[in-house]
Amino acid sequence: MINLENPRKFSALVSQAHQVAAEIFRPNSRKYDRAEHSYPKELDMLAALLDGMNAAGGDSGGAGAAGVRRDSKDAGAGNRNGSNLSTVLGVMELCWGDVGLLLSMPRQGLGNSAIASVANDEQLQRFKGRWAAMAITEPHCGSDSAAIRTSARLDGDHYVLNGEKIFVTSGERAELVVVWATLDKSAGRAAIKSFVVERNTPGFELVRLEHKLGIRASDTAQFALVNCRVPRENLLGDARIDVEKGFGGVMQTFDNTRPLVAGMAVGVARACLEETRKLLEQAGVKIDYERPALCQHAAAAEFLKMEADYEAARLLTLQAAWMADNRKPNSLEASMAKAKAGRSCVDIALKCVELCGSIGYAENELLEKWARDAKILDIFEGTQQIQLLIVARRLLGKSSAELR
């Protein structure tokens, strides 16, 4: 029989993450939404606590986008509920508090997830404890990661990078940036590799910080790389261009991070639903699970539909994370979870604002902020349209050239 509840062994982690969300993230949510580009100092103590837990051998994987490696260890050990699932459960709780503050957590960036996913043992040790952002998107190739033009040319013991990167989350605050670049444009996507670039590297220039609709607590940067020299040992994964394999090595990062973004969306959706339920009950609208939706108040019927949508997104997200823990290919499921959760989060947030009327639209409640935050969760790490395209390719057995 399938158990749809959270694994019992993660109950303490989920409880701790919820406590952080309730006592640190929520109280500071509006403050840093208004003070865009200001660094949330309150996160330093929390980051130090997580570092201490890691040093002591504790499992703080639920604290943020820590990433997970896949290997053959414990093969045949049966079903495993491991770090992917614990991280997703923690992310859900923390984003119930605030998405922007989660994305601002030191040493918990999406670049850290990339390093944790594909770095070798020496790189893992060398970059341990450092905050890493991830730079993929370019002005001309929004959602098409395979169209990257930033170039990497080997020159002795260094790669020379040239190009431009936009929408880099935590780009200004992070110590490292994982930059996607191509070794040979004529070789197509197989030549795309990821490089760890130190923020103070000459030729790696911060162009500007973006002003955004939501997640204002998190900084979003644009960079220019002009003859930026990166040590060859900072390349993540295999330096060989394998046309047969394509760029599966760097894309493996997405199989880990897309369920995390889906988890963020699930957390925001739950926050919206809980706040809306409270406001509806204050207005005298009762939600009755014993009666058909059509026999209830129209607002209650809408709420029940949103809850069903939320639950579907949550279960898809947990499935994608569980598959990664059990070394099962999860590219399809990761995209399904990201597509469903991203769309559901936006729909739920906007409907909750609508149901709560002027209360939902004003700054008295956080609903209007969550509605603004929600939209990015349907865009970054691959837009809704890209996720649906990936799902279609997987289901139909089509290549990217056959189905665009």
Q: How many CB atoms lie within 10 A of CB 57?
A: 6
Which residues are catalytically annotated?
A: 381
Q: pLDDT of 73-105, one tens digit each? A: 544 556 788 888 998 999 999 999 999 999 999
Proportion of the chain above pLDDT 90, given as a percent: 71
pLDDT for 72:
47
Q: Which two three-digit tokens encode residue 100?
A: 């922007």
Please write the tens of the pLDDT for every residue from 243-267.
655 555 566 778 888 999 999 999 9
Cross-strand partners of 161? 152, 228
**CATH topology for the 248-396 domain:** Butyryl-CoA Dehydrogenase, subunit A; domain 3 (1.20.140)
List b or e across 338-371, with b for residues whose CB sees 16 or more CB atoms inside 10 angstroms. bbbbbbbbbbbbbbbbebbeebbeeeebbbbbbb
Determine the Cα–Cα distance for residues 263 and 226; give it in Å rounded to an integer.
Answer: 36
pLDDT given at position 247:
58
How confident is residue 284, by pLDDT bands cut at 50, 70 and 90?
very high
Contact by Cβ (8 Å): 27, 19: no
Report the pLDDT value the prediction gives residue 163, as an integer from 0 to 100: 98
Whether the predicted pLDDT of 241 surpasses 90? no
pLDDT at 377 over 70: yes
Q: How far is CA 25 from the centre of its chain?
A: 17
Contact 366, 30 (CB under 8 A): yes
Residue predicted with more confidence, 19 or 1:
19
Q: How confident is the model at residue 275, as a pLDDT?
A: 98
Q: What is the 3-state secondary structure (H, E, C) of the chain?
A: CCCCCCCHHHHHHHHHHHHHHHHHHHHHHHHHHHCCCCCCCHHHHHHHHHHHHHHCCCCCHHHCCCCCCCCCCCCCCCCCCCHHHHHHHHHHHHHHHCHHHHHCCCCCCHHHHHHHHHCCHHHHHHCCCCCEEEECCCCCCCCCHHHCCCEEEEECCEEEEEEEEEEEECCCCCCEEEEEEECCHHHHHHHEEEEEEECCCCCEEEEEECCCCCCCCCCEEEEEEEEEEEEHHHEECCCCCCCCCCCHHHHHHHHHHHHHHHHHHHHHHHHHHHHHHHHHHHCCCCCCCCCCHHHCCHHHHHHHHHHHHHHHHHHHHHHHHHHHHCCCCCHHHHHHHHHHHHHHHHHHHHHHHHHHHHHHHCCCCCHHHHHHHHHHHCCCCCCHHHHHHHHHHHHHCCCCCCCC
| pTM for this predicted structure | 0.91
State the span(s) of the chain assigned CATH 1.10.540.10.
8-126
Q: What's the Cα-to-Cα distance from 354 to each of 197, 229, 280, 298, 313, rounded to whole Å? A: 44, 51, 12, 13, 21
Q: Please give the Cα distance from 246 to 146 (Å, whole number).
A: 10
**Whether pLDDT at 368 is above 90:** yes
Please state the rounded mean pLDDT for residues 4-12: 89
pLDDT at 218: 95
pLDDT surpassing 60 at residue 303: yes
Q: Which two tokens stand for residue 184?
A: 């040979």
Q: Where residue 47 falls among pLDDT bands split at 50, 70, 90?
A: confident
Burial class from Cβ neighbours inside 10 Å (0-12, 13-18, 19+) for residue 243 reads exposed
Segments of the chain assigned to CATH 2.40.110.10: 132-236
Q: Is 156 exposed, middle or buried (0-12, 13-18, 19+ CB in 10 A)?
A: exposed
192-205 mean pLDDT: 96
Average pLDDT score over the chain: 89
Residue of 278, 258, 298 lying closest to 380 (CA atoms): 258
What's residue 112's pLDDT?
Answer: 87
State mean pLDDT over 313-339: 94
Confidence of residue 310 (pLDDT cuts 50, 70, 90): very high
Higher pLDDT, 376 or 239: 376
pLDDT of residue 399: 87
Worst-scoring range by mean pLDDT, 150-159, 213-222, 365-374, 379-388? 379-388
Rounded alpha-carbon distances, angstroms, from residue 291 to 265, 295, 306: 29, 7, 16
Q: How confident is the model at residue 142 (pLDDT cuts 50, 70, 90)?
A: confident
Question: Looking at domain 8-126, which of 3.30.465.10, 3.50.50.60, 1.10.420.10, 1.10.540.10 is its CATH number?
Answer: 1.10.540.10
Query: Quick one: pLDDT at residue 54?
Result: 57
Residue 107 binned pLDDT confidence (cut-offs 50, 70, 90): confident
The pLDDT confidence band at residue 53, using thresholds 50, 70 and 90, is: low
DSSP β-ladder status, 176-182 and 132-135: parallel
**CATH architecture, domain 132-236:** Beta Barrel (2.40)
Q: How far apart are CA 166 and CA 202, in angstroms?
A: 18
Residue 401 has what pLDDT?
A: 82
Q: Where in the chain is the domain with CATH 1.20.140.10?
A: 248-396
Closest CA to 145 of 68, 258, 69: 258
